[in-house]
Structure 1
Amino acid sequence: MRMKPILVIQMQRMGDLIMTFPLLLWLERRYPGREIIVVAEPRFYRDLAPLGPAVRYVSLSDLQLILDREYSLVINVSHRRQGAFLAGKVRAEEIIGPYLDLENRLYIRGDWQLYRASLVECNRHNTFHWAELNALDVIPLADVGATLWPEPRRLPLGNARVGIFLGASQDEKRPVASFWIGLAQGLLARGMRPILLGGPAEQDLGNRVARGLGMPVLNLAGKTSLDQFARIGQTLQIMITPDTGPMHLAAWTGLRTLNLSMGPVNPWETGPYQKGHYILRTSMSCSGCWSCRFGVPRCTQTFDPDKIVRLVVEVIRHREHNLAKMTFPGLELMRSARHLGGFWLDALAPGPEDPSARQALDRFWHGVWKWHFKACDEEQARGAAAGLVQAFPVLVKTMRARLVSLCRVVATHGGRTSGQGDDLLVSSAMPCLSPCVSFARLILENGNFARSSYLSVLTLLERILSLLE
């Protein structure tokens, strides 16, 4: 009997599609011999298909072909309403992610997918990578942790070619031309060979940077396909890049990257996923924001081209041990790694011995969600909470008081079919509790404010309180 295929819906940008590659790889391993069909944008998958897992790509224009099949599993990791519409239309034994029901109402299936949706405008303390959030409802964390990603390749010391990817999906996520000029000049002064890279949208920027250098430099911005870009990457020691789709392609194909994480991006969510890549981000309290509240992101001003040149030289010359001795005022240097089976960012540059409140809260919420979604045991969650409880007792006392208040609000509203959930947000204005408030509101909305959804919220709040004892 022929096995029913698996349908994955990913209709976002190039970087989102590449961050879906790990999910596709895990599905291949968990369901051997099962056909995997991916609905994506043709302008992205045409070039990327040969570089990723062996799946079948189709576009939304093939709608009837998609609807004619019956699927064992549908996973919608797209944020677009078109994706939810499609997920609700196909015949499937199981659906994970957003879908529209027969009355055109939006629902989300899967704890991790619901959590991912709760991060919109509320991702301050999230430390789960998008690649894993795509998968954890169907792929056990043990399978994720068992995947051995190869370290980025090392080229001979005589190779001094450094890629500079100039662009990003939004201007506020990338440096300005003068920064790139200063960086390239610094590399040239240290005997490096910078190569300017970018898509068609970066062609003008590439020309401005090349002119500003006042000396010959290889400018390939807007002149290569994705396949050619991947081939060029095989000849580079490292690529310096903002958070952008080609950064994910570079990491996937083994090219070491230095991610300049600036503007409204969070490297925990969308930094290079594979091990051994470097991330520089601002140490400003608003780093990792969903959307910048300033007209021009202030974090971009903390990046120093000279410091970055020094960092690159140490990496190229295989002297990474020196990175811990370097200082980056206003910045944090991290390297992608693995911790307790999942993605993690290890701090490299020296910092305070004791964790900040934000770092302690990051680890606390990481433990909360893993425990609540049955990806770890209570002991591991308590270990994650211990640093917060011990180092910040006054904060924890206030959090407990607010959580008790939240429990009262939920208990008072429980069972009201016309509930709105706004009271939850009003009763807790503490940013450190925003992760559970945002998730709780989605539980209520996703459950049509039924009594069972209020009970689910109460269970979550009680578990959080138990960790703060």
Structure 2
Amino acid sequence: MGTPGDNPSAPRRDLPPSPVLGPVGERVPDVERIAVLRANALGDFIFILPALEALRAAYPAAELVLLGAPWHAKLWRDRPGPVDRVLVVPPAPGIREPAPGEEPAAMADFLAAARTERFDLALQVHGGGANSNPVVAGLGARVTAGLRADDAPPLDRWLRYVYYQHEVIRALEVVALVGAPATTITPALAVTDADRAEAGRVLGAPARPRVALHPGATDNRRRWLPDRFGAVARTLAGDGYEVLVTGTPAEQETVDAVVAAAGVPVSPQVGTLSLGGLAACYQGCALVISNDTGPLHLAAAVGAATVGVYWVGNLINGATPLRARHRPIASWTTHCPVCGVDCTPGIYPHRPGDGECPHRDSFVADVPVIEVVEAARELLAVRPAGR
């Protein structure tokens, strides 16, 4: 825990240990309303669910307000869980990109309106804090807490941002600063009856157990190749499973390539489901196979078994540590497959190489199909569906 002038990495011997993680800071008295800033992508939000649960347990009478994006407000409408309300934060550098068709809004106006909410606590679990800490400080809360990189201003209580740390644990350490010990390290998202009804309308009743493949990802370097996904689809369809291939409208070309590579009937689902409907779809699947992207983490959070294809650095920060129903498959590539530049010095500046590379070719293309198939069959209990 840090305050201006403190060494945030120094151990605090006066703080009690947490039953799950420690140490735990002092709880703030008389808290009626808490703001939590996390306005980025789907997987990023899934990672903070245990931290939100910890806050709910520590401050059960307080209103928990997520400062997020429009999609957060839509997802959290009428959904049970730790979030009471979503306050949509305006697009801003380092905060979030504008949604399609979204009208611009001034951050100063947003903060002025937010100050009338009279937040008691405001927490930043959004990143290093260069852009986000001023937003959290601008809310006017009695106590602020969050992450702080070297280029970020301090909050009242802060934890140094160190890049390689699992995102779930990172967020849990932040909420522990305000006296909210971890109650779980496993993200969980409720699926509603409305979600299931939507999935049923779109997908129909399954004739066979379903497996979903999600071959997209915002960063092309995280994408396993479509022909590899196609080979997996062909194998699992041959084993007797109904294979779905999910994607966003921006991923239509990738989904089409997987369907073509499969060479057998599969069911493409591109933009056919809302996020809640997709959650229900995954919950109803025997297995979800995906790149390291939001839908993979959504699938795990709703209880699906998963096989994830990861670049090793992302595996450190995002892969679940659980193995009863999850298998992360890692690529150990560290040099650009096009120009050979070592791409690690951006994180490790004292190592040789400049780390600057303009290419965005896949860093996980070397993962063999057989590794994914073996992991899938193990989680599917090896026995082909329907036999």
d(CA) in 1 for partners of 2:180, 2:116: 35
TM-score, with structure 2 as normaliser: 0.67
What is the letter of the counterpart of residue 133 of structure 1? Answer: R
1:22 to 30, 50, 64: 50
Give the ranges of 4+ consecutive aligned residues of structure 1 lying more than 6 Å apart after TM superposition.
Answer: 285-288, 290-294
Paired residue for 1:396?
Answer: none
1:64-92 CA deviation, whole Å, 9 max, x = no partner? 33111222221111237553222121222
Look up the equivalent residue of 1:93 and give its one-letter code.
Answer: R
Structure number, greater radius of gyration: 1
User: Structure 1 residues 234, 175: closer, same or farther in 2, change over 3 A?
Assistant: same
Q: Could you say if the C-alpha distance between residues 221 and 76 of structure 1 is closer, same or farther in structure 2, counting changes exceeding 3 Å?
A: same
Deviates more, 1:16-25 or 1:73-82: 73-82
Please list, as runs of the form range in 1=range in 2, the aligned pairs for 1:192-211 lying within 5 A after superposition.
192-211=241-260
Counterpart residue number, 1:85: 134
Which of 313, 316, 321 is equivalent to 1:268?
316
Q: Give the alignment's TM-score, normalised by structure 1.
A: 0.56
1:10–1:83: 8 Å Cα contact kept in structure 2?
no
Q: Deviations over 1:120-147 (max 9, x none)?
A: xxx3xxxx31112112133289942x53
Residue 171 of structure 2 corresponds to 134
| Separation in 2, partners of 1:47, 1:227 | 6
CA distances 1:31-55 after superposition (whole Å, capped 9, x unpaired): 1111111100112441255264232
TM-superposed CA distance for 1:12, in Å, is 1.6
Measure the CA separation in 1 of the matches of 2:140 and 2:64.
15
Give me the identity figure in percent.
21
2:274 corresponds to 1:228:
no
1:242 deviation in Å? Answer: 1.0
Question: What is the distance in 1 between the residues matched to 2:181 and 2:208?
Answer: 37
The alignment's C-alpha RMSD in Å is: 3.5
Counterpart position of 1:451: none
Q: How many residues align?
A: 299
Deviation (angstroms), 1:299: 4.5
CA gap of 1:285–1:112, structure 2 versus 1, over 3 A, is: farther
Distance of aligned partners of 1:296 and 1:131 in 2 relative to their CA distance in 1, 3 Å threshold: same
Alignment of 1:138-153 (within 5 A): 138-139=175-176, 143-144=181-182, 146-147=183-184, 149=186
Q: Aligned equivalents of 1:134 and 1:34: distance in 2?
A: 19
Measured in 2, the distance between the counterparts of 1:44 and 1:248 equals 15
Measured at CA, do residues 33 and 280 of structure 1 come closer, stay the same or move farther in structure 2, by a change above 3 Å? same
SS, match of residue 32 in structure 2: coil
Structure number with the bigger relative contact order (C-alpha 8 A, sep ≥ 6) is 2
What CA deviation, in whole Å up to 9, does each residue of 1:129-182 have, x standing for no partner?
Answer: 1112112133289942x5385999xxxxx9532110111120110112222212
The 5-angstrom pairing of residues 167-178 of structure 1 reads: 167-178=216-227
Report how far residue 3 of structure 1 moved.
4.0
- Inter-CA distance 190–225: structure 2 relative to 1 (3 Å threshold): same
Which residue matches 1:55? 84
Q: Which runs of 5+ in 2 are unaligned?
A: 1-28, 91-109, 190-206, 336-341, 348-354
* Amino acid aligned to 1:86: V
Q: Tell me how far apart the structure 1 counterparts of residues 218 and 278 of structure 2 sit (CA, whole Å).
A: 17
Match of 1:108 in 2: 154
1:378-397 matches, cutoff 5 A: none
Name the stretch that deviates more: 195-204 or 300-309.
300-309
CA distance in 1, matches of 2:298, 2:268: 19
Once residues 307 and 274 of structure 1 are traced to their aligned partners in structure 2, the CA distance between those partners, rounded to angstroms, is 18
Structure with the larger helix share: 1
Q: Choose the corresponding residue for 1:160, options 209, 215, 224.
A: 209
For structure 1, list consecutive stretches of 5 or more residues without a partner in the other structure.
153-157, 320-469
**What are the residue-to-residue correspondences of 1:38-437 with 2, within 5 Å?**
38-48=66-76, 50=79, 52-61=81-90, 62-79=110-127, 82-97=131-146, 106-109=152-155, 113-114=159-160, 116=161, 118-119=162-163, 123=164, 128-139=165-176, 143-144=181-182, 146-147=183-184, 149=186, 160-262=209-311, 265-272=313-320, 276=324, 277-283=326-332, 295=359, 299-317=363-381
Q: How many angstroms apart in 2 are the aligned matches of 1:112 and 1:245?
A: 27
Which amino acid is 2:87 matched to? Answer: V
Q: 1:52 to 1:262 in 2, by over 3 A?
A: farther
Superposition deviation, residue 25 in structure 1? 0.7
Deviation at 1:240, TM superposition (A): 0.5
- Match in the other structure for 2:5: none
> Does the Cα contact within 8 Å between 2:134 and 2:153 map onto a contact in 1?
no
